[in-house]
Structure 1
Amino acid sequence: MTDLKLPQLPDRNPVKLSIAVMPDLHQALIDYAALYAATYGRDEPVAELIPAMLAAFLESDRSFARNRTKR
């Protein structure tokens, strides 16, 4: 087997999740999308922003990262 610098790529098939949120959270997400559009001059649907928001949240949670690496 060859020693490549690039490791095998992880599974990149998206997993679809369906969730229900309370009306106040839904409004907050709409407000966030509006602020995003005003900031970057580009409209993005809430459904496109949520995965990035969740990833940013998980990456910023030090306790989660610490405990996740212990597995």
Structure 2
Amino acid sequence: MADLKLARLPDRAPVKLTLAVLPDLHQALEEYAALYASTYGRQEPVAELVPAMLAAFLDSDREFAKARRSGVSAAR
């Protein structure tokens, strides 16, 4: 086996999730998308923003990061 500098790329196949949100959360997401568009000059649909928002949330959760590093998982 060759010893390449670039490691094997991780699986990047998207996984589709369907979820329902309450009307007030939907309204807040629409407002966020509008603020995003006025801030960056580019409209993005809520469905495109939500995965990035969730990733940012998980990345900022110190307890979650600590649990992942220690191998603790609540997944069943």
TM-score by length of 1: 0.97
Give SS of 1:2's match: coil
CA–CA separation in structure 2 for the residues paired with 1:5 and 1:66: 28
Match for 1:21: what amino acid?
Answer: V
Unaligned runs of 5+ in 1: none
Report the 3-state secondary structure (helix = DSSP H, G, I; strand = E; otherwise coil) of the residue aligned with 1:13: coil
Report the alpha carbon displacement of residue 48 of structure 1 after superposing the two structures with TM: 0.3
Runs of 4+ in 1 over 3 A off after TM superposition: none
Q: Pairwise CA RMSD of aligned residues?
A: 0.6
Determine the structure 2 residue equivalent to 1:23: 23
Which amino acid letter does the alignment assign opposite residue 50 of structure 1? V
Equivalenced residue count is 71
Cα deviations by residue, 1:23-58 (Å, 9 ceiling, x for unpaired) = 000000000000000000100000000000000000
Give the share of equivalent positions with the same residue, in percent: 73
Determine the structure 2 residue equivalent to 1:45: 45
Whole-angstrom distance in 2 between the partners of 1:68 and 1:22: 30
Residue type of the alignment partner of 1:30: E
